Amino acid sequence: MAIDSDGTRPRVRGWDALGFACAIALQAVSAGAQPEEPAASPPVRTFEIAGYTIPAGERRQIQLQVSESFAGSSVDLDVVVANGAEEGPTLCLIAGIHGDELNGTEIVRSVLDQTDPAVLRGVLIGAPIVNLHGFRSRTRYLPDRRDLNRHFPGTSRGSSASRIAARLFDDVVRRCDYMVDFHTGSFHRVNLTQIRGDLEQKSVLELARFLGVGVVLHNPGRPGTLRRSATDAGVPTVLYESGEPLRLDPVQILHGVEHVQRLLSALEMIGPLPDAPEPAVYRSSSWVRVDHGGIFVPRVHLGESVEQDQVLATIFDPIGGERALLLAPRVGRIIGMAVPQVVIPGFAAFHLSWAGPGASAPIEDGAPPDDVDDTE
């Protein structure tokens, strides 16, 4: 190519420019140079669960068939998965294992509704109603009167409860890094908002503190419960107790959503929130029972701290007057109690917790009585 008098190459336009480019390319090939390949696009991060694939930044509702109705129609467990746009932990929120416990269902639904996958880091999984049989019939149990929360991790060849437990545990729980299981009191009893878990495990204790609930109780849970089975399987899990069955409490639901938001923030799945104050940690608890039949009228409030021999309730004769007083067997705090009703001897009236073990009252190995199984 000719050089201008000033020593520069002449400008090329149109077909001359095309010919110039072709000449350069031919020179590169003849010299053994390889044309530069375009940079590969990064793979899209997806989340796999129960045969479903959820792309990053998206929310999907999936169905797991867990049972059938008496008419033979499918009973499906609805699970919502929000796969964040960025990497992070996987948090699972479970509610409705007992069909009459409603607060947790609404807490999980509200959290999922308010979570934007586009700004989420990690994966948020929610199952608002696990026991659909019980939810439809407004009862704690399955149709065969089994308590679903006694059959985890379950087996696909066992009872109806065991099969439902196995499907949830294998397809959902094992995919999680952390889990919160929501419950309320049972059988005309109400629970103070509290967290329960195996506090001997550091990961469980941290999870309990991250939620920012004011009361935390050490109770690993009996074998067969979801939180005990999940924690044993390497998924740190806590129980979130709040309220009473068959009732939606707007204040407790609002607080529950706030507590989960604090947990998401502490796990760095969403932006920072103010730190919560340290909770009161209780190591032991037991139920105070009445010794006389009659009308039960409490004299203390839920969450109140009581002294030994303080009057907790009065038992009235349905026909006559006052029959007996129910006294506190030790210093402690009321974390659960029965609502006013008629009672018989042995009725569990107040769930009393205290900071450490003691001998003033019988301790039922940290577990509730069989007729008041509200820890799970």
Which of 245, 261, 281 terminates a domain? The answer is 281
State how far the Cα of 368 lies from the Cα of 189, in Å rounded to an integer: 13
- pLDDT value for 276: 83
Angle, CA 180 vertex, CA 169 and CA 283 arms, to 5°: 115
* Domain assignment present for 304: yes
How far apart, in whole angstroms, are the C-alpha atoms of residue 261 and residue 273? 8
Predicted pLDDT at 38: 56
Q: What is the pLDDT of residues 58-69, one digit of tens each?
A: 999 999 888 777
Report whether pLDDT(43) > 80: no
The verdict on residue 206 lying in a domain is yes
Half-sphere exposure of 145 (CA within 13 A, CB side): 0
Residues 289 and 239 in one domain: no
- Torsion-angle region of residue 373: left (phi > 0), alpha (psi -120 to 50) or beta? beta
The reply to whether 277 and 308 lie within a common domain is no
Q: What is the model's pTM?
A: 0.83
Whether 274 and 310 map to the same domain: the answer is no
* Location of structure tokens 């010794």: 291
pLDDT of residue 27: 52
Given a contact cutoff of 8 angstroms between Cβ atoms, the answer to whether 282 and 218 are in contact is: yes
In order of 203, 223, 272, the CA distances from 334 in angstroms are 27, 26, 33
Look at 62 and 39; give whichever has higher pLDDT: 62
Q: What is the chain's Cα-based Rg?
A: 30
Q: Which domain covers residue 366, as residue numbers?
A: 283-372
Residue 320 lies in a domain: yes
What's the total number of domains in the chain? 2
Task: Provide the CATH number for the domain around residue 116.
Answer: 3.40.630.10
Question: Do 71 and 183 belong together in one domain?
Answer: yes
Residue 192 located in a structural domain: yes
Q: Does one domain contain both 327 and 250? A: no
353 in the same domain as 238: no
Domain boundary among 262, 281, 300: 281
Q: Confidence band (pLDDT; 50, 70, 90) for 275?
A: confident
